[in-house]
Amino acid sequence: MEKTMDVLRDMNIGRVKEILAIMFGIDIIRERNSERLLEKLSRIAVEVLHGISFVEIIKDGKILFESGEKNGSPFDLDIGAGYMMRVYIDDLDDESLELLEYLQILSSAHISLLHEIDIDPLTGALTRRAGERKLLNLFKGEERFQMVFVDLDGLKYMNDKFGHEAGDMYLTDFVKSVSDADFVVRWGGDEFILILRENAEEFMKKASENFWGEFSYGVVRVPEESENLREALRIADERMYHMKRSRKRDLNIPQNSPHVE
């Protein structure tokens, strides 16, 4: 990274733009991590652009990281998805101003693309790829939480009987009913994972009251019952299927019925 900075400082503005575009493109393919990108962006801004002494990257009012020594006047740049770059400017020349605007455009486009990759376009939940990354990081920590594995009952029947628009509404309305979870992952077609800090049983009872469909679920307490994501998924999946089988028996529905899946 340091060698890259030295090279960029010695280049003309057109070539710097080309190199930055390549760097950001590689990040999309390799890292797909918004915050690592923005940390790199803040260092580039301070070390390459003349007249910028200090940069903060902020999300939802919280400073994620900072670079440089604070001098000059602050100027805020919106870069999308709740992120803001605050730069401290002291006598910015025209070329540096042009590059700063270019960095803002590149970073905004990058963040927007990463957001599209990480968010399920139908439900607004995290995609499986993004969710698994977030779950793995969560399991590495020391926080206590509850993981809920949810399977929506009757989605195939809903699609077959009323059409896929009704099935889509079934999915989106479920996600709305659990929107107070810490985060929601669409794990499969009709499978979701919720992360909760509150009592899971009370939360799911409230969700069932706010959702017009039905679902089965299994809960794992972390780290009390599992400290490993794979094992936690296995336990939650088994408990979810136990609930599903119990509900079928209570309703006297054959185990292979399409009405409850």
Same domain assignment for residues 109 and 133 = no
260 has pLDDT over 60: no
- Among 118, 146, 180, residue at a domain's last position: 118
Q: Which residue has the higher pLDDT, 28 or 96?
A: 96
Q: Does residue 95 share a domain with residue 184?
A: no
Helices first, then strands: H and E counts in the chain? 9, 8
Q: Same domain for 145 and 215?
A: yes
* Average pLDDT of the chain to the nearest whole number: 81
Domain interval for residue 37: 2-118
For residues 35 and 108, membership in a common domain is answered with: yes
Query: 150 and 103, same structural domain?
Result: no
Backbone φ, ψ for residue 146 (5° rounding): -120, 135
pLDDT in tens, 236-257: 999 999 998 887 655 444 444 4
- Separation of first and last alpha carbons in the chain: 52
CATH number at residue 57: 3.30.450
Contacts 24+ apart (CB under 8 A), 105-110: 106/20, 106/21, 106/24, 107/24, 107/37, 107/38, 107/41, 107/79, 108/78, 108/79, 108/80, 110/24, 110/27, 110/28, 110/34, 110/37
The per-residue pLDDT for 7 is 42
Same domain, 12 and 44: yes
Half-sphere exposure of 164 (CA within 13 A, CB side): 2
Specify which of 7-16, 58-67, 70-79, 207-216 reaches the highest per-range mean pLDDT.
207-216
pLDDT band of 5, cuts 50, 70, 90: very low
Same domain, 232 and 157: yes
Per the structure, the count of domains in the chain is: 2
For residue 216, what is the domain's CATH number? Answer: 3.30.70.270
Residue 242 within a domain: yes
Measured in degrees and rounded to the nearest 5, phi and psi for residue 64 equal -85, -45
Question: Considering the domain boundaries, does residue 259 fall inside one?
Answer: no
Of the two residues 71 and 37, the one the predictor is more confident about is 71
What pLDDT band is residue 44 in, cutting at 50, 70 and 90?
A: confident
Same domain membership, residue 136 and residue 68: no
Q: What tens digit of pLDDT does each residue of 91-126 get?
A: 777 777 777 787 777 777 777 766 767 888 889 899
Q: Are residues 197 and 107 in the same domain?
A: no
Is 228 among the domain residues?
Answer: yes
Same domain, 138 and 77: no
Residues 242 and 184 grouped into a single domain? yes
pLDDT digits (tens, 9 = 90+) for 165-208: 999 999 999 999 999 999 999 999 999 999 999 899 999 999 99
Residue 150 CA to residue 241 CA, distance in Å, equals: 10
Maximal C-alpha separation, the chain:
77
The domain boundary, picked from 99, 118, 137, lies at 118
Regarding beta strands 83-89 and 145-153, do their DSSP bridges make them parallel or antiparallel, or are they unpaired? unpaired
Question: pTM of the predicted model, to two decimals?
Answer: 0.61
**Confidence at residue 72, expressed as pLDDT on a 0 to 100 scale:** 85
Domain limit, last residue, from 118, 149, 165:
118
